[in-house]
Structure 1
């Protein structure tokens, strides 16, 4: 699979009165053409910070301090403002968490579509913009007569579909979805994600999907990366994250979800609290909460290493699966 975007050793800092706080630390991954990659983890683990980094949407006090973001071989971090303007809509677009906050409450949906088309020189008249906007609404199953309504006249699920339509307006190659179904009921969640998957199959774009819900992510994604405290601790095919986790944190996340079939089981969860990024331990960041932690874990930070075919894990003591002996085979590039 050809790589569409490559993130190499990305680090993001926030400047505070107490000094720098590293929200994302040395994260590397790639997304192939037509692939759906998921990022999961607790609140504050750096998922959204990575998403904003890919489009260079950060503003002070946040700053990208290290790394590369290569999109079709071009470094996003070296683009000037004009290049970024094209990149942010034509190559990459984002569906944010709250659709209501993304839409201007005092402008009709039609006007907001026109604003997109006009800014990128895609239309010569308002009538042409209206026709393009209607076609996009049809794609996400919204009646075209609703084009002249205001955001408050739509339900939460419909607003989210409008935002998805806007994100697809310039037919980007990568769609970033940052918790796109937050605050929606489970039925609407499934409808929206099914529609997104259909659109992905139709138009062939890639997706970076961010959510807390691992069970939802497993259904949609090809691969899943697990984030903890600003670091990528495991990257694996989606079907293996819940059934055969290798990092103790990924195991804990999976053990926090009830099964739909079989006997009732007590949920164990993960003991302790998320790490204070202003007080990072010398060794593994998960060691204070890990049931497999040793003295080496407390003093030496682990590297993200290959642990089988298409699998990566950052752990001194990766979990064995069905009695197999885990062997670290190579270091991540």
Structure 2
């Protein structure tokens, strides 16, 4: 399958008075055409920073300090202002975390669609803009008469669907969704994600889905990358990543939510706190919180390597959930 997007050795720094803090450190992954790639990890691990880098939306003190972002073979980092203007929204669009903050509260939904179409010369008249906007609202199951309402007249779930419709207005090839269901109840979450999946099948675009909720992601994605403290620690198939995690951090994330079936079990979180990016330890960044940690882990940082089952893991001692030894270690977590 042909890759639509390739992120290669991406580094993003935040410049401070005490020096550069690397929020994204040597991250690489690919998103094939017509597929969904998920980025998971706790708050502050660099997920949203990657998304902003892909759209070149960073402003000082953030800078892309290394790597490449190849979209259909062209490096987004080298784009001119005019190339970026065409790239954003037309080739790649983004659904941000808070829909209400993305919508202009003093303009109708119709005007905001018109603004998008007009900026990219996608329509020849206001009437054509209204017609296209109504069709987009139909696609996301919003009555077309609501087109002339203001954002505050919609519920949270409806606002999120309006933002998704706007993101699809110019039929982009890649849709970036950064925590799109934050603050929504679980029923609305599922409705919105199912709608996005149906639209992907209809229009054939790819999706980068960012969330800290691994359980939500496994139902929606084809592949999942797990991040910790600015680095990718595991990349695996969504169907197997929870059942057969290779990195102890992925295992910890998978055990941070209860199962829907079986006996009631006591939940155990990941001990400790994330590392300070301005004062990184030697070796593996997860070592102090890891139940498999050894002296090697504290001295040498593991590289992201391909395993026998075609997953990629940055761990000196990848987990084997079928081994008796790992079962004993897990029992003491």
Shorter-normalised TM range: over 0.9
C-alpha RMSD of matched pairs (Å): 1.2
Q: Residue in 2 aligned with 1:110?
A: 110
SS at match of 1:220: coil
* Deviation of the 1:121 alpha carbon: 0.5
Indicate the residue corresponding to 1:154 in structure 2. 154
Q: Distance in 1 between matches of 2:280 and 2:9?
A: 19
Tell me whether 1:28 sits opposite 2:32 in the alignment. Answer: no
Provide, for residues 11-37 of structure 1, a one-character-per-residue CA deviation record: whole Å limited to 9, x for no partner. Answer: 000011221110000000000001101
Q: Please report the TM-score for the alignment, with normalisation by the length of structure 1.
A: 0.96
SS of the residue 2:283 aligns to = coil
C-alpha separation in 2, matches of 1:4 and 1:184:
30
Cα separation, 2, equivalents of 1:11 and 1:109: 37
User: Aligned equivalents of 1:64 and 1:310: distance in 2?
Assistant: 29
Displacement, 1:44?
0.1
Q: CA deviation at 1:308?
A: 2.3
Hey, what does 1:329 align to over in structure 2?
Answer: none
Cα distance in 1, alignment partners of residues 43 and 144 from structure 2: 37
Would you say how many aligned residue pairs link Structure 1 and Structure 2? 326
SS at match of 2:239: helix
Runs of 4+ in 1 over 2 A off after TM superposition: 323-326
| More displaced stretch, 144-153 vs 317-326 | 317-326
1:224 aligns with: 224
| Deviation per residue, 1:19-69 (Å, 9 max, x gap) | 111000000000000110111000000000001111111000100000000
- For residues 139-218 of structure 1, the aligned pairs below 5 Å read 139-218=139-218
What is the rounded CA distance, in whole Å, between the counterparts of 2:196 and 2:324 in structure 1?
A: 38
Per-residue CA deviations over 1:260-308 (Å, capped at 9, x if unaligned) read 1111111111000011111101211111111111111111111000012
Task: Indicate the larger mover: 239-248 or 97-106.
Answer: 239-248
Alignment of 1:100-139 (within 5 A): 100-139=100-139
In 2, the alpha carbon distance for the partners of 1:225 and 1:122 equals: 35
Task: Tell me how far apart the structure 2 counterparts of residues 308 and 205 of structure 1 sit (CA, whole Å).
Answer: 30
Q: Structure 1 stretches of 5 or more lacking a match? A: 327-333
Residue 14 of structure 1 aligns with which residue? 14
The alignment partner of 2:265 has SS state of coil
Q: 2: distance between equivalents of 1:266 and 1:13?
A: 39
Does 1:58 pair with 2:24? no
Distance in 2 of aligned mates of 1:324 and 1:140: 49
What does residue 267 of structure 1 align with?
A: 267
**TM-score, normalised on structure 2?**
0.96
Query: For the residues of structure 2 that align with 1:225 and 1:308, how far apart are their CA atoms?
Result: 17
Counterpart Cα distance in 2 of 1:61 and 1:104: 26
- The superposition leaves residues 63-94 of structure 1 with CA deviations (integer Å, 9 ceiling, x where unpaired) of 00000000010000000000001111111000
How big is the shift at 1:309?
3.4
Q: 5+ residue gaps in structure 2?
A: 327-333
